[in-house]
Structure 1
Amino acid sequence: MKILSFIKSFHFWKHLALIMLAGLILIWITLFFLRLYTFHGQSIEVPEFSGMTMDEVKEMRESRHYDFTIVDSVYDNTKTPGSVVSQLPLPGSHVKKGRAVYITIIAYTPEKTKLPNLVDYTFRQAEAFLETHGLKVGKVERVPDVGQTVIKAKYKGKVIPWGTELNKGEKIDLVIGKGKGGGEVFIPKLVGKSREKAHKLINEAGLNVGAEIFADPDDTVSVRVIKQSPGYEKEKEVNVGESIDLWYE
């Protein structure tokens, strides 16, 4: 009876209410600090860091929200050493503050590689093999020879032996035979193409790049072909090894 009377008393319900209130307050405090710790429900957009040096990245106001880790470096002589070339998470991603951002930068010094032996390789085989060694095809010179394969390689205008150590990213000029009897090939359509693409099409056709005329001599990269000579005509052929002159703008 005493227990039943106590349960019905004001003091019992008062203490029960206080205990429940204290429990709710404790749960609220726990959830509040948990939200602060995990930034629950809060996310920020990752900005674009590509092209910036790490010093420039760290000067950005937004950079204080991230933990940057450089995971790799690649060499590219057309870009600023130390600049960001890729990032993860990608620009535009939504992440929590304090998220690690993994950065790949342009190396300050180039990696080394050796020129592979390309003798008797066709142009396409040689191009693919050079790419696996981090090298690029420069000019292609077609000379009289019974085969239509690589005879020798040049670097900066001079013949170099196979196995020569070079910086990755360098351009190698190839001397390739015209083949027995020469033969004829179709002229590729080059107007509207970038300089790099035009060179590639000319080389693949078994022709040589001739004179190159630029509307702006200071810009030889972001240009496109506006004229070629000989001009493109459907099914028009020229001898293997002939040169095509290009005008750019």
Structure 2
Amino acid sequence: MFQKHPILKHLLLMVAVSVVVLTVVFLGIKLYARQGHEFELPDMVGADIEDMRADASLDINYVIIDSIYDEHDAGGRILSQDPKAGTRVKKGRKVYVSITAYSADKTFLPDLCDLSVRQAVSQLFSMGLQGGTLRFVESPDRNAVLSLSQNGRTLQAGQEVSRGSRIDMVVGLGDEGGYTVVPFVIGKNAKEARRDVLTASMNVGREIYDAGASRANAVVYRQEPGYTGITRYPLGTEVHLYYRDASEQEAERMIREFKIDSSDIVQPEEPSAEPMDDSYDLEW
């Protein structure tokens, strides 16, 4: 066909070349425009929100979606960002961040007396409070919260307290005392680990962060005593927690690779190591 109509052949060839050239030019212009309007988001976690806003090289619209008070941290520090670091975004893009609060909000202390430790801890954490120290005393009301205090000052239900503050509890030991199983907290952040330790009627002991570890990203990589699922400890025993920075994937890997180290396990003298489930049920 093209041999009989060479002009048609040349016309079609010219059209094809024109389409290819225009496509390349269009893509080049689009890529150039994108490079001029897009950039890679830096890692903002740990930075001060006001410092980031003052950075003229970043054209970002920051939207604060949550603020969390931490008595150990200064206000305004970025705890999380969305989109994540490394994402390419256009200038003027909204970036959603959570930060540490500059001051603590207030809340009213619920009535926790006569509740079990598990119920009391659950209520405290759901209201943005934290469980402090559990002190067990002789009382026929075993595992029941008898009184609340903060910094040595007795608290009453309905009293105003700061969110994020720690509430100490006096708990009944029962007539014969009791024992519990240390929970497994490897791979959990500080809030989750503290909650699980207290729920098991144990106390949080030393909390040690590796050099350079941030409280926002750190998870537990070591606990003392170690978890066995069967070894029982007296109520109120301290569990020491060691933290280091880890991504979500690294935390999951730590959990998968965790192996019980018998050298870390301290056997209590009185109770026998009979199999128990992992529900933190107490034995009296």
TM-score between the two structures when normalised by the length of structure 2? 0.56
1:73-101: CA deviation from partner (whole Å, max 9, x where unpaired): 33222322122222222211111223222
Residue 181 (structure 1) aligned to one of 176, 195, 200: 176
Q: How many residue pairs were aligned?
A: 206
Offset at 1:248? 8.3
Aligned to 2:48: 53
Aligned to 1:23: none
Aligned to 1:22: none
The whole-number CA distance in structure 2 between the counterparts of 1:134 and 1:106 is: 13
Alpha carbons 2:197, 2:239 under 8 Å: kept = no
Residue 69 (structure 2) aligned to one of 46, 64, 75: 75
Offset at 1:57? 0.9
Offset at 1:170? 0.2
Supply the AA of the counterpart residue of 1:150.
Answer: V
Supply the AA of the counterpart residue of 2:163.
Answer: K
The whole-number CA distance in structure 2 between the counterparts of 1:70 and 1:207 is: 36
The whole-number CA distance in structure 2 between the counterparts of 1:232 and 1:50 is: 31
Residue 97 (structure 1) aligned to one of 77, 91, 99: 91
1:85 equivalenced with 2:79 (yes/no)? yes
Give the direction of change, closer, same or farther, for the CA distance of 1:137–1:87 in structure 2 (3 Å limit).
same
SS of corresponding position for 1:62: coil
Residue 146 (structure 2) aligned to one of 145, 151, 154: 151
The whole-number CA distance in structure 2 between the counterparts of 1:129 and 1:170 is: 14
The whole-number CA distance in structure 2 between the counterparts of 1:88 and 1:226 is: 31
Offset at 1:201? 6.2
Give the direction of change, closer, same or farther, for the CA distance of 1:85–1:129 in structure 2 (3 Å limit).
same
Aligned to 2:136: 142
1:131 equivalenced with 2:155 (yes/no)? no
Alpha carbons 1:140, 1:209 under 8 Å: kept = no
Supply the AA of the counterpart residue of 2:40.
Answer: E
Offset at 1:137? 0.4
* Structure 2 runs not aligned, ≥5 long: 1-21, 209-214, 244-284
Give the direction of change, closer, same or farther, for the CA distance of 1:242–1:167 in structure 2 (3 Å limit).
closer
Residue 171 (structure 1) aligned to one of 146, 166, 172: 166
1:37-85: CA deviation from partner (whole Å, max 9, x where unpaired): x94466321111222223321343531x323344443322232212222
The whole-number CA distance in structure 1 between the counterparts of 2:85 and 2:119 is: 37
The whole-number CA distance in structure 2 between the counterparts of 1:150 and 1:213 is: 25
Same amino acid, percent of matched pairs: 28
Aligned to 1:160: 155
* Structure 1 runs not aligned, ≥5 long: 1-26, 215-220
Aligned to 1:10: none
- Higher deviation after alignment, 127-136 or 51-60: 51-60
Give the direction of change, closer, same or farther, for the CA distance of 1:144–1:199 in structure 2 (3 Å limit).
farther
Aligned to 2:280: none
Give the direction of change, closer, same or farther, for the CA distance of 1:58–1:198 in structure 2 (3 Å limit).
closer
Supply the AA of the counterpart residue of 1:134.
Answer: G
Please report the RMSD computed on the Cα atoms of aligned residues, expressed in angstroms.
4.3
Offset at 1:199? 6.3
Alpha carbons 1:142, 1:208 under 8 Å: kept = no
Alpha carbons 1:195, 1:225 under 8 Å: kept = no
Could you say which structure has the larger radius of gyration? Answer: 1
The whole-number CA distance in structure 1 between the counterparts of 2:221 and 2:85 is: 30
Alpha carbons 1:67, 1:101 under 8 Å: kept = yes
Pairing 1:1-249 to 2, within 5 Å after superposition: 39-40=33-34, 43-60=38-55, 62-63=57-58, 65-147=59-141, 148-182=143-177, 184-186=178-180, 188=182, 203-207=198-202, 237=232, 240-241=234-235, 243=237
Give the direction of change, closer, same or farther, for the CA distance of 1:51–1:244 in structure 2 (3 Å limit).
closer
